[in-house]
C-alpha cells in the first residue's frame, strides 16, 4: 500500500478559467487504508434524546467502557447541525470544553478547561469570527492568547511543483481535477484516503506519486488542524488540478 501525505488546497477554482478541465463527481468510492487502527476504530456509544424545551436533538457519546466523552446539541438527528450548547470531557471525567452555537454550525462562545478543572480559555465569537477572549495557564494566571482553531495548511507551491503530468495525457491533450478526501491524524500522518474512481487512473497515480515524495517530511509541507493549541484528527478534501495552461 502506498504511503501518502497530503492535505488541503483551500481555494476554489473559477469555472471560467478552467472550462476545458474535466470535472468528476463528488463520489469518493475508492479507498486506501494506511492505518487500520483508524479504519477499524470503535465508534462511540450514542444515547439520543430530544430536548423538550428547544426541540434540539441531544447526543450523549460514551466510550466502549462507558466513559462520557461529549454531550452535543443538534438541530435534528439526521443533519446534525450544531445549535445551542455542546460539552466535551477529559478522560478523567472533568469538563474539557463548552461550545455555544447561536447559529447552525457557527459557534459564538467557547470555554475550555485543563484536566485539573482550571479555566484555560474564554473566547467570544461572531459566527466563528474572533471578537475577544482570554487564555490562562494551568495555575490560573493570564497567558498569551492564541487562536482557538487553526485550519490545516499545505505548501501549495511545493505540491504543484511536485506534480508530473502523465505523458499519455499530454498526448491526448487531457486536463482534469482529481479530488481526494483524507484523514490526517493529529500526529501529522495519513490514516485513510478516499478518492474518486471515475477520475483517470493516470492522474490518480500521478497525484499519489507526488504525495509520496512529500510525505516523508512530517509537518514540513502539511500541517494538521489545531484546536485549543492541540493537534486534532481531521478529514480534508483536496482538489488537485492537472492543467496544460
Phi-psi region of 188 (alpha: psi -120 to 50; beta: other; left: phi over 0): left
Nearest partner of 92 among 112, 69, 73, 61, judged by Cα: 69
pLDDT tier at 218 (50, 70, 90 boundaries)?
low
Q: Give the residue, 120 or 28, on which the prediction is more confident.
A: 120
| Lookup result for grid cell 512530517 | 218
Q: Give the residue, 135 or 189, on which the prediction is more confident.
A: 135
Q: Report the C-alpha gap between 21 and 10 in whole angstroms.
A: 19
* pLDDT for res 39: 83
Whether 4 has a pLDDT exceeding 70, the answer reads: no
* Cα dist from 107 to 86, 102, 133, 142, 150, whole Å: 10, 6, 14, 23, 15
Q: Give the residue, 203 or 133, on which the prediction is more confident.
A: 133
Whether 52 has a pLDDT exceeding 90, the answer reads: yes
Q: What cell was used for 235?
A: 478529514
Residue pair 84/98 in contact by the 8 Å Cβ criterion: no
C-alpha angle with apex 25: 24 to 28, nearest 5 degrees?
A: 110
Whether 163 has a pLDDT exceeding 80, the answer reads: yes
Look at strands 129-136 and 142-143 and give their pairing. antiparallel
Q: What cell was used for 62?
A: 460514551
Nearest partner of 185 among 7, 10, 29, judged by Cα: 7
- Long-range own/partner contacts, residues 64-67 (CB < 8 A, 24 or more apart): 67/91, 67/93
- Report pLDDT digits (tens) over 121-139: 999 999 899 999 999 999 9
SS3 211: helix
Amino acid at each position: 500500500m502506498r504511503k501518502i501525505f497530503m492535505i488541503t488546497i483551500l481555494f476554489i477554482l473559477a469555472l471560467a478559467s478552467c472550462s476545458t478541465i474535466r470535472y468528476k463527481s463528488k463520489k469518493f468510492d475508492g479507498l486506501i487504508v494506511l492505518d487500520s487502527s483508524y479504519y477499524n476504530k470503535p465508534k462511540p456509544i450514542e444515547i439520543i434524546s430530544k430536548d423538550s424545551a428547544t426541540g434540539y436533538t441531544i447526543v450523549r457519546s460514551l466510550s466502549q467502557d462507558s466513559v462520557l466523552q461529549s454531550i452535543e446539541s443538534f438541530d435534528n438527528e439526521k443533519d446534525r447541525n450544531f445549535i445551542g450548547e455542546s460539552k466535551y470531557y477529559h478522560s478523567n471525567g472533568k469538563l474539557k470544553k463548552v461550545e455555544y452555537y447561536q447559529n447552525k454550525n457557527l459557534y459564538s462562545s467557547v470555554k475550555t478547561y485543563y484536566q485539573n478543572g482550571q479555566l484555560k480559555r474564554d473566547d467570544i465569537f461572531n459566527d466563528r469570527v474572533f471578537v475577544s477572549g482570554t487564555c490562562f495557564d494551568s495555575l490560573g494566571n493570564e497567558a498569551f492568547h492564541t487562536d482557538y482553531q487553526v485550519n490545516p495548511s499545505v505548501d501549495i507551491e511545493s505540491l504543484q511543483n511536485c506534480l508530473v503530468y502523465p505523458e499519455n495525457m499530454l498526448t491526448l491533450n487531457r486536463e482534469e481535477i482529481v479530488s481526494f478526501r483524507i484523514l490526517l491524524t493529529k500526529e501529522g500522518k495519513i490514516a485513510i484516503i478516499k478518492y474518486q474512481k471515475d477520475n483517470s487512473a493516470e492522474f490518480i497515480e500521478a497525484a499519489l506519486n507526488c504525495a509520496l515524495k512529500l510525505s516523508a517530511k512530517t509537518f514540513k509541507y502539511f500541517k494538521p488542524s489545531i484546536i485549543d493549541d492541540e493537534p486534532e484528527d481531521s478529514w480534508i478534501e483536496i482538489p488537485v488540478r492537472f492543467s496544460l495552461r
